Structure 1
Amino acid sequence: MSSPCDPQYAPAGDVSAALMLVDSRLKAIYDGRTEVDPERQLLDRQFTASLGPTGAQDLLDGVCTIIFMYMKWLRMACEDHGKNVIEYVVPNLVTSMGRMPKSIRPEAVPTMAGLVIAAGTGLSPSLWRQQYGDWTREEMNPLEATAFLLAEVINRITDDQDFATRLIDDALSSADAY
């Protein structure tokens, strides 16, 4: 039986723009910058404002697509080692988010955990979230952090700081070939 949250019904969104945000956050952390640079915050706000309402929705859908793709890769990697992706990823993700109180309010953590669980079970994160209403402003940082944290897990597993970005970039390149 098909689910209304099946990824085939979900918009992919602007995956390139979403990947740019995640990759720039990864690079900042790898370069040793743990605090968000005020100039970077201003550029992010200007970029997001320039998207307009439909562009902002495309960016949200793009981030959800990236989360889905990361969880699909993690699910396959876990299955290869006899592990359950939900058991392996979600507790660490929730713990990491709990350590980020400036960026992620505690009430957003269950939503992000649910989003990752949905993706880990093969459901579209954006369609899963859509069931509960529109995205809120308070969920934007946690959503970006979720994609970032999943990318970081993948990079640590592969021992390659660019693997998660290349994973999405390669998928985009393959899609462009069709």
Structure 2
Amino acid sequence: MSSSCDPQHAPAGDVGTAIMMIDSRLRRVHSGEAATDSEQQEMVDQFAESLGPEGAQELLDGACTLIFMFMKWLRTTHEQVDKDVIEYVVPTLVASMRMMPRSCPPEVIPTMAGLVIAAGTGLSPNLWRQQYGDWTEAEMTPLEATAFLLAEHINRIADDPDFATRLITEALSSADAD
């Protein structure tokens, strides 16, 4: 039985820009660069304004696609060792988000956990979220943080700081080849 949240019904969005933003954040965190939250937020705000409403929606859809792809990889990896991806990924993600109260206010953490659970069970995170109304501004930074934290988790599992980015860029390259 097909679900209204089936990924085949979801727009992929601008996955290339979304992974570029996540990769940039990963590199900055690992390099120890000291950009302040306000400087980073100003750059993100300027970038979002340059996209316009349609481009911002594409980026939002792209971030949800990243979350779906990351969770698909994590689900496959966990199943290979008879572990449940939800049991092992979601508590760690929630704990990490709780340690980031300025980026992830407590009231949006359940939504981000829901996105990850939806993706972990094979549903489209953006279609799952759409059931509950429009995205809120308060959910934008936590959405990016969710994709970032999943990428970082994948990189740690693979013991490779660029693995998550490569995973996505290779998937995009093979999709372009088809």
TM-score (norm 1): 0.97
Instruction: Give the drift of 1:38.
Output: 4.1
Q: Residue 5 of structure 1 aligns with which residue? A: 5
Structure 1 distance, partners of 2:104, 2:49, is: 21
Any residues of structure 2 matched to 1:1-178 within 5 Å, and which?
1-33=1-33, 36=36, 38-178=38-178
Offset of residue 42 of structure 1: 2.4
What fraction of aligned residue pairs are identical, expressed as a percent?
69
Which structure 2 residue ranges, 5 or more long, are not aligned?
A: none
Q: Structure 2 CA distance, aligned partners of 1:13 and 1:64? A: 8
Aligned AA for 1:74?
L
Return 5+ residue gaps in structure 1 as ranges: none
User: SS of 1:13's equivalent?
Assistant: coil
Following superposition, which runs of at least 4 residues in structure 1 exceed 2 angstroms of deviation?
33-43
Amino acid corresponding to residue 156 of structure 1 in structure 2: R
Question: How many Å apart are 1:47 and its aligned residue?
Answer: 1.1
Supply the distance in 2 between the matched residues of 1:121 and 1:24 (Cα, whole angstroms). 28
Residues 74-96 of structure 1: per-residue CA shift (max 9 Å, x gap):
00000001100000100000000
Q: Aligned-pair distance for 1:15? A: 0.3
Equivalenced residues, count: 178
